[in-house]
Structure formats: structure tokens, C-alpha cells
Amino acid sequence: MDRRSFLRYGALAGTALGAARINPDFFFSSAFAQEARPLVFLSAENITGNWDPTAHTTLSQTNIEGFVMGYLTRAPMRPDDPEKVVYELATEITELDAHRLQIKLRDGITFHDGKPFTAEDVKATFEYGAQLDRPKQVYPGGPDTFAVETPDDHTVIVDTSKGGYGASLFIFLASYLPILSAKDVAGGPKGPLSQRLNGTGPFRFVEQRGNDTVMEAYEGYFRGAPKVTGVTFSFVGDATTRMLSLMNGQADVIERLEPEQVETLEARDDIKISRLVSVENKYLWFRCSKPPFDDWRVRRAACHAIDRSMIMEIMGSAGEASSNFISPIKFGYIDLENYPEYDPDECQRLLAEAGYPGGEGLPELEYITSTGFYPKTKEYGELIAALLQEQGFPVKLNVMEVAAWNERLYDRPGGGPGHMVDCGWSTGSPEPDLVLRTHFHSSAKRICGIVDPEIDAALDAERDAPSLEARKESLQTNLMPMLADKAPALSLFTSVLIHGMRSNVDGLFIYPDGQSDASRTTLS
């Protein structure tokens, strides 16, 4: 065979093989030729691949759960009434006494797999979500600290007398963990829970197709079938790409807009902007279990070196000033009087008292932050590093891509990498314990790694208070001021959640944690 024949026959064979494999749909499927179509939501964050709602603390996946799953209550968490809850699968929650809470459930509801929703599902969810080995362990103690009775199919009684804490803690937690089917829970963490979402929400989980999570309207939703045919929730990593998608109509809603993007989009008639004070605070976490930040005076000195008003200028519309360790839309928030403000003299006094006059003797301090996930982290990281250096802290800023930062984020034996880490924390419930206990109790330390018996006692005291009012007082007069003094972290500001959406999207309710209620949404 000569070279020309070889080429000729080779080309023919290749063409024949290729043609046989071509699916015409691969080429032709117009994006613009759709009438009744799903709502397209572009997310800035990827998902985990394991659908068990207790297996992760990933916001994007929590947002997907918000479309599919049902909750006993929902918490709109608006600044004017942060404690408001709206009943969903529950119709009534009553404190029978300090340790007993009665929850009445809605009748006639079914999961997407057809199974009726009953009190057994709530019991199974509470017990499963409380297991200490669940990454999103949410209830105040392990499952042996409370008991759940189900006198009938639509009544649940939670008794926390074994744990010694108030049952009122479950009120806000009820709007945090979605209700799972007892049948799914019985399969355990490796069972059906991890394979797909099965809820009672307005949209039914259909499939994960590449980076698209496909959901369709659930006809049997108890408040009536949604108007849109479904929701396509897609991970698109690049902020500019998300913005272009919104501008050309390929996306209906996009999240995590940068302030500059807001300015661009606000000038357009076909796009509207939603701004919400979010549940997320951004923190500078100190590694409290290793020097020099194992000394509260050094931590507090660092806090006094940072001028948060300058950070707010950098953040623009993406940040809201706050002076506490939780967002202003959480239960118990107050502006703390002793919250550390910019005060160079106090910084120097504390440094000298700790044995580092003018910063002399301090080791080189690594400040770890990320770029590309939270807005402006690099910009205000540079500012914080400069402000700290001004007071004598030998700070080296390390700006990392998200995966590398995430790998170094959490506390480890010996203190974890670096000395300071920038990270936000966000939980979709007014319950402050989900932030405070998670980070500052020695049994559950996440990033700062603090072990302090006084803080533990203050956390337990507010948890064990017999009523919501007593808890609020304990939080505001004991725990929160103590945290401000000991400064295991500095909460820099509260994030503002900014969504962009097409102006034809009506009736989309966005919660301050990023979840959305699209059950009444129309695309006019």
C-alpha cells in the first residue's frame, strides 16, 4: 500500500467510524427556542456529590436542598424581625415546659417518592442529624441527650431533660436541617440518602448532569405546583461568565456578585439586583492553640491594630458593619460595647504586657487567605497585613487559590497551618449556637482551635437556659462580651448577599443564607 492509498483509506475509515457515533442532538438543540422552561440558577460554588444533607456544610448544595427538601419551619431572617419563623411542615410549635417541645405536623403531605410524611420522619431526622459523626451535626448534643416521642402521626414531642438544656433550642434548628424520610434514614449514610435528594419541597430532584443539577416542578407540592417547570442549578466558576450569562438571558439568577458587577448590572433595565444582609460573618481567625495567639492579649492587640472602617470602604455594597461574632439577623445579636475597635495605643499596651513591646520577639506570622471565592479577600487582606505590620506584627500574607486555602483552613493538632486565616461562616437559621458553639467550644472547634474552660462554661450556660428569653440574656451579658474580650477571632463584617436576576423573574424569595423559594416564581 502506498502512502496516498493509506491516507485515503484511513480517512474513509475514520469518517465512517465517526459518523456512526454522531448523535444529531449533540449539534442541534437551540438554547433560545424554549417557551415553558426551567429557572436557570448559576452558582459560584460546586457541590459535593454526596446528597446526604448531613454530610456537608457546602452552601451551594444547601441551596439545592432548599428547592427540594421540606423544613419544619423557614426563617426569613430580615433585620426588622430576625426571630420570625414561618411554619412549613410544622403547623405549631409549643414549649410544654423548659425541656419539652411539642411540634404539630401538617397532614396530607408526601415525599417525592410517594411515601406519606409523618412524625416518624421528624424523629428519624432529629436522631440522625444529632449523631456526632455527621459533618453537619446540628442538634445541641448527641442523640443520647434528648428523646423524641411520636404520640400520633402528626405530633412530635422533643424532651431534652436528659441533656439538661432547654428544648427551645430546637425551635430555630427546625428551620436548619431538612426533613428526611425515615425510610431513607434507615439505609444509613451509605444508603439512598447519599444517592439522591428525596424531600417534600416544591421541586423534585431529577438528576445530576455534569455540573447541572436538574430539578422539576413537583405537582403534589402541598402549596400547589410551582409555575416554572423546574430549576436548573449549575456551577459556573467564573464570575464574569455568570454575569454574561445573566446579561444574555441564558441565566435567570446568579449569585455572589462583586460590587463592580453590581454597578454594571444596575444600569440595565432587563436586570434587577437583590441585596440582603446575610447570615454570614467574615472572620479573621487566630490559631489559638499555638504561639503567639495562644495568649489572648496578643489576639486582642491584633484586633486593635485593624481599622474595620477601612475594610468597609473596600467592601462597598458587599459588606455591612457589625460588632459581634454573629450576623445582626441572628437571635441574640447586639452591638457589643467591648468589641475591639481600632486603637493603636491599646494595641501597643497589650503587646508590651504580653512580652512583645512594639512587636519585638514575635515570630513571622502567616496570614492565609483565598482569592476567587469571597469578594475582595485579597484587597482587604493586604490592608490588614499592612495595618498589623504598622503596629509591629511581622505578617506575611499568603493568598491562595480556593482548594489550597481550603486544605489549610481547619484546626489540626498543634494549631493548623499559618497563624491567621480569613474565612466566613454561614448557617441558615437564626440559631447563634450553630456559629458560636461550632467555633468556640472546645468539643467542636473548627478553625481557631481555642480550648478555654470559661468560654465552654459560658456556651453551656446559654445552651442550658430554660427559655429563649433567658438564653438571649445569657448570650448578651455573658458569652458574647467574654468572646469579645478573649478574641479567638475578629469578626470583620457581615456579608451582604447580592443576587442578580432577569427583570422577568417575579416572586423569587431569597433567604439570607442563599436558599431560594421558587415555588411562586414566574418567568413573565
Partner 1 sequence: MFILRFLARRLGQGAIIIFLVSALIFTLLRVVPGDPVRLMVGGMAPDTLVEEIAAEMGLRDPIYVQFGRYMGNVLQGDLGESFVRPASGAAVGGASFDDSTRGERAKVLDLIAETAPMTLQLALLAMVFALMIGVPIGVWGGLYPGRLPDRLALYSSSLFVSLPNFWLGIVLALLLSVKLNLLPAIGYKGFSYTILPALVLAVEIAPFIIRTLTVSVAGVMGQSFIDIARVRGLSRNQIVFRHALKNSAVPLLNLLGVQFSMLLGGVLVIEFIFDYPGLGLLTINAVMQRDFPLIQGIAIVTAAVFVLINIAVDLLATAIDPRLDY
Candidate segments 45-53, 296-304, 321-329, 347-355, binder of partner 1 by CB under 8 A:
45-53
* Grid cell in block for residue 413: 493538632
Span interacting with partner 1, options 49-57, 95-103, 315-323, 426-434, rule CB under 8 A: 49-57
- From the list 161, 487, 471, the residue with the least C-alpha distance to 333 is 471
> Cβ of 222: how many Cβ atoms within 10 Å?
18
# residues contacting partner 1 (CB under 8 A):
62
* Smallest distance, partner 1 to C-beta of residue 204, A: 17
Stretch that binds partner 1, among 206-214, 291-299, 359-367, 482-490 (CB under 8 A): 206-214
Give me the residues paired with residue 500 across strands.
254, 273
Question: Which residue, 94 or 240, is less far from partner 1 as judged by CB?
Answer: 240
Q: Which residues pair with 425 in a beta bridge?
A: 281
DSSP 289-337: TSTTTTSHHHHHHHHHH--HHHHHHHHGGGEE---SSS-TTSTT----T
The window from 4-12, 255-263, 310-318, 335-343 that contacts partner 1 (CB under 8 A) reads 4-12
Q: Is residue 17 within the footprint of partner 1 (CB under 8 A)?
A: no
Range in contact with partner 1 (rule: CB under 8 A) among 83-91, 114-122, 238-246, 357-365: 238-246
Q: Are 167 and 133 contacting, i.e. CB atoms less than 8 angstroms apart?
A: no
Considering only 382, 410, 461, 520, the residue that binds partner 1 (CB under 8 A) is: 410
Question: Which of 451, 489, 448 minimizes the C-alpha distance to 287?
Answer: 448
Q: Which residues contact 491 (CB under 8 A, 6 or more apart)?
A: 281, 282, 283, 322, 323, 324, 325, 326
Site string for partner 1, 104-143 (x = CB under 8 A): -----------------------------x-x--------
Per CB under 8 A, which of residues 428..487 are in contact with partner 1?
446
By beta-carbon proximity to partner 1, the closer residue of 313 and 407 is 407
- The CB density around residue 128, as the number of other CB atoms within 10 Å, is 24
Q: Which is nearer to partner 1, 30 or 524 (CB)?
A: 30
Under the binding rule (CB under 8 A), the answer on residue 346 touching partner 1 is no
Q: Which of these segments, 141-149, 386-394, 398-406, 468-476, binds partner 1 (CB under 8 A)?
A: 398-406
* Rounded-to-integer distance, Cα 397 and Cα 385, Å: 6
Determine if the peptide bond prior to 394 is cis (ω within 30°).
Answer: no
Residue whose CB is less far from partner 1, 154 or 242: 242
Q: Is 210 in the site for partner 1 (CB under 8 A)?
A: yes
Please tell me whether residue 32 binds partner 1 under the rule CB under 8 A: yes
Task: Quote the distance between the C-alpha of residue 498 and its chain's center.
Answer: 14
Biggest CA pair distance of the chain: 94
DSSP state of 96: E
- Choice from 92, 152, 238, 379 touching partner 1 (CB under 8 A): 238
**Which of these ranges, 178-186, 244-252, 311-319, 484-492, lies near partner 1 under the rule CB under 8 A?**
244-252
Kindly list the distances between the CA atom of residue 233 and the CA atoms of 205, 237, 291, 462, in Å, as whole numbers in the listed order: 11, 13, 44, 39
**Rounded to whole angstroms, what are the CA distances from 52 to 36, 181, 260?**
31, 11, 36
Residue with Cβ nearer partner 1 (60 or 391): 60
**Rounded to the nearest whole angstrom, what is the least distance from the CB of residue 282 to partner 1 in the complex?**
17
> What is the contact surface with partner 1 in residues (CB under 8 A)?
1-4, 6-7, 25-32, 45-50, 52, 55-56, 58, 133, 135, 189-191, 194-195, 207-211, 213, 234-238, 240-241, 244-245, 247-251, 401-404, 406-407, 409-410, 412-413, 446
